[in-house]
A and B are shown apart, each in its own frame.
Chain A
């Protein structure tokens, strides 16, 4: 017997598919949306079974209002896992990578489909569909199939689509589905990056290593410069702090060196240094302060674990009105003079200062 997905206990927008052996194909459907969509769901189940040659199995589908792509992913995962056959490939999704700032990247648990359709509405710079820590071990395969279908089906607007993989199999399965970047957890060597990079072939997909161990931090620059596909490099503080035998404090002094190391290595390699998460979801002011600290340390962005962390983070990464005013004065003065070295509001301004001010003005436009 194979079970994928979830139903009941307050689960919404998902379906549970139970597959067991039977003399011939048959199915039973229990659906919370039977009166509105029952006939369409039956048709979808029959078509999915036909895709697998109507195998001799019995399906119990308990549907709590799964969207069609979710139901499809559950059916496909159920059949594939039970019959031990390959997941039928989905058509490739045309997509081109467009570089942007990564002020916020929103983690979305990869096996919780109700969170998918609206994730892009919260306007993070990127969404991370997570196949690693947020997915239970026995649901890893189902989550991979679900994420594949989600990437293939949903509209993501101009939000970048990232996937945090749990293993190289995840990356292999998702090639061609328009992934902007794979996040690779617990990276400790350039080889771990190169192995994934070799898979990616002609795609534009980028890579973001996550350093979460003492060894990873030691090799930060090597890792950051291991492939032209590296888009940014992130630090994962929970695991790192545990690995060095320290404890997380409010001020974060135990990881100050590691954070500095990641910023420096990433900047040296010309990629975006990315800060870790702030776990107190209800504390918006705390999130703002955390994001502001991260920005002042040199990070390009933070990770978010709830959509309500996005707005305070964007606020923290936007120049303050005073900073904006000063930047405007510098840019105006420098451009008027046509370069050189000059003084604006008692500050010496040269080309690098001008460049920083110009970038700050660009960043002020959300």
Chain B
């Protein structure tokens, strides 16, 4: 998703959901943009939004579910307070990306695609961020960082944590 992570996500509200859906429902091929907008508003696509989207766009709930589960950007549960993404593409592998990925899961205590039970952090994998001559590359809360090895990752995560005790 292209969203500014510093913008706080709003708590669920059916009225706000309908308003968000309505803002994009007249676009051509609206289903994906609508789901992206919902995620931008709420941080994820709440299950309660699915029937609302289906009704507004005159598609089945299965259609909505299908799109929601196809795209790796779209979340069905809230992300952690900090979102770390590690590039696993070949160009980053060539400069230590595999070791960085292993370090990330070990030191952060979560697997790729997982959020810590306390909601403090989500770790995601991404296949290429287009920073292939300055890898290994990660994003922390949407900010791109190049030439990140294990120590830099620890520092970046530390700096991003509100209380500074994430890593």
A-B complex is real = no
